Structure 1
Amino acid sequence: MTTSAAYADFAAREAHGVSPTYERLALAVSRDDALLALLDTLPPAKRQPNLLFGVVRLLGGPVHDPAAFRDFTESNWPAVAAGCRSRATQTNEAGRCAVLLPVLAALPQPLALLEVGASAGLNLYPDRYAYRYGEHRLGAGGPVLDCDLTGTAPPARRPEVVWRAGLDLNPLDVTDPADVRWLDALIWPEHARRRERLRAAAAVAAADPPSLVRGDLVDDLPALAAQAPPDATLVVFHTSVLYQVPQPRREAFAQVVRGLPGHWVANEAPQVLRYEGLPEPPDAALRNVLALDGRPLAWTWPHGQAATWFA
């Protein structure tokens, strides 16, 4: 897919109906030969819209006006390019715990959670957030994670977590204001509630920081998994991570994780992890597939705001 087509696809499938600002901006970039030429000087994995837009926002650039965005990006291209090359889209959306919870709560307790592509580790605290599935409320305190869950009953409990660890090539520190600013820059402009949720989830994690290990999802996963307590159910999970990993490494990762004890929970786009016999998605927008040990269970929305169960 060309860079132009990738930005047009992002506008139509990810930003449409979710972020008018990013839909408008992505369409403008898709038609801008000068910006596309600059982007094509970057490695393919570093050309994606979320990364570019987040770096420009982190640098103080405008995103609401495509013309102003273009002027800023062109004028500051060395800094923008350096930011894109050195950073990754580590959107640490705690709301995704709401679509993981029905699976986690149903596994044998207690759990040892190991997140691949953990970013700052905010998804390692499904036992400490509150949830609202329609009229069904679970847990107390904040943040409260809302999810429109259809096709299955909402979970009756939160999981019991006795060990949590994360693996990431560039783990972020929720106690470091600079890292939190990057997480904030990755939240789409209109999403004030997500920004509030980030701050609340970061406060939960900062009160008891997770164990985050800098490492590769294939080479370093077995050693970290071996540290989990043997009397807990190991759960290796990831959400919207593997699209950043080349296909051969995805296949190697799947082989490694299938060989570990415990369970594998994946929440990825169907083009990234493929499953046979998937039902039609609810609509043409981008959806992830939630799967347990290679068995697909549900279509999920990218930020955890909804899940449609089909298993």
Structure 2
Amino acid sequence: MTTADRYVEFASREAHGVSPAYERLAHAVARDDDLLALLDDLPPARRQPQLLLGVVRWLGGPVDDPVAFRTHTLAHWPAVRAAMLTRAVQTNEAGRCAALLPVLAALPQPLALLEVGASAGLCLYPDRYAYRYGDHLLGAGEPVLDCALTGTGPPTTRPEVVWRAGLDLNPLDVTDPADVGWLDALIWPEHTHRRARLRAAAAVAAADPPELVRGDLVDDLPALAARAPAGATLVVLHTSVLYQVPPARRAAFVALARALPGHWVSAEAADVLAHPALPSPPDGALHNVLALDGTPLAWMRSHGQSAHWFG
């Protein structure tokens, strides 16, 4: 897939109907030979639309007009390039917990959560957030995470979490304003509700910071998993992470996740973790496959805003 194709796909499958600003920008980049030449000089993993757009926002550039975006990005390319080589797409969307909750609440309690690709660890607190499934409210306080569930009923309890830890090549510190600022920059421009949700979730996590370990998802996972307390159900989970992992390394992680005691909860795109005979997604938008121990359960939107159970 060419870089132009990646930006067109992002515009049409991810940003369409979700972020008009990013849809316009991604289409504009896909048609811009100058920007494409600069992007093609980066390693393939660093050409992501989300990374370019997030970095330009983070550096104070305009993202509301394609002409202004192009002018600014070309003029400031050395700084944009340097940030794209050192930063990573680490969207830490607490809203995903709402789609994960029906799975987590149904497992044997209490849980020991271990998130791979944890970023700042905001998805390690499903027991601390409030949820709204249509007119069904679960929990109290902020943030309140909304999710449209179809094909299954809403959970009636939150999980009991007695241990939480994360593994990431570059963990982010939820108590560091610079790291939280990068997480803010990764939120799409129109999503003021997600920005407020980030602040509320960061406050929850900062009050009891998670244990985050810098490490590799294969080499360092067994040692961290071994630290989970006896008597708790180990749950290794990840959301929208494995697309950044080379296929051979991805396969090694899957084999390891299957071999560990406890359970494995994943939410990845269907072309990243293949599952045979999936039903068609509910619409043309990008959906992840929510799975438990490798068995697909539902189509899930990438920010947790909806989950469509297979029945």
Q: Do these two structures clear the TM 0.5 threshold for a shared fold by scoring above it?
A: yes
Note the alpha carbon deviations across 1:71-111, whole angstroms, 9 max, x for none: 11111111101100101100000000000000000000000
Q: Structure 1: where are the runs of 5+ without partners? A: none
Match of 2:56 in 1: 56
Q: Does 2:280 align with 1:272?
A: no
Amino acid at match of 1:205: A
Instruction: Give, in whole Å, the separation in 2 of the partners of 1:153 and 1:115.
Output: 25
Match of 1:2 in 2: 2
Amino acid at match of 1:14: E
Instruction: Give, in whole Å, the separation in 1 of the partners of 2:87 and 2:43.
Output: 12
Q: Does 2:257 align with 1:248?
A: no
Give me the identity figure in percent.
77
Match of 2:85 in 1: 85
Note the alpha carbon deviations across 1:234-290, whole angstroms, 9 max, x for none: 000000000110111110000111110000000000000000010011111110000
Match of 1:21 in 2: 21
Q: Does 2:101 align with 1:101?
A: yes
Match of 1:142 in 2: 142
Match of 1:258 in 2: 258
Amino acid at match of 1:54: G
Instruction: Give, in whole Å, the separation in 2 of the partners of 1:282 and 1:249.
Output: 31
Secondary structure of the residue aligned to 2:95 is: helix
Match of 1:157 in 2: 157
Secondary structure of the residue aligned to 2:261 is: coil
Instruction: Give, in whole Å, the separation in 2 of the partners of 1:310 and 1:258.
Output: 22
Match of 1:130 in 2: 130
Structure 1 moving runs of 4+ over 2 Å: none
Instruction: Give, in whole Å, the separation in 1 of the partners of 2:250 and 2:196.
Output: 33
Amino acid at match of 1:89: V
Q: With structure 2 as the length reference, what TM-score do the two structures score? A: 0.99
Instruction: Give, in whole Å, the separation in 1 of the partners of 2:243 and 2:98.
Output: 21
Instruction: Give, in whole Å, the separation in 2 of the partners of 1:214 and 1:74.
Output: 34
How many residue pairs end up in the alignment?
Answer: 311
Instruction: Give, in whole Å, the separation in 2 of the partners of 1:102 and 1:78.
Output: 45
Q: 1:204 deviation in Å?
A: 0.1
Secondary structure of the residue aligned to 1:167 is: strand
Q: Aligned-residue CA RMSD in angstroms? A: 0.5
Secondary structure of the residue aligned to 1:94 is: coil
Note the alpha carbon deviations across 1:120-144, whole angstroms, 9 max, x for none: 0000000000000001110010100
Q: Does 2:67 align with 1:70?
A: no
Amino acid at match of 1:21: A
Amino acid at match of 1:228: A
Amino acid at match of 1:239: T
Match of 2:281 in 1: 281
Instruction: Give, in whole Å, the separation in 2 of the partners of 1:303 and 1:29.
Output: 24
Amino acid at match of 1:246: P
Instruction: Give, in whole Å, the separation in 2 of the partners of 1:130 and 1:96.
Output: 12
Note the alpha carbon deviations across 1:205-228, whole angstroms, 9 max, x for none: 000000000000000000000000
Amino acid at match of 2:299: W
Match of 2:169 in 1: 169
Amino acid at match of 2:214: R
Q: 1:230 deviation in Å?
A: 1.5
Match of 2:225 in 1: 225
Amino acid at match of 2:202: A
Instruction: Give, in whole Å, the separation in 1 of the partners of 2:266 and 2:71.
Output: 40
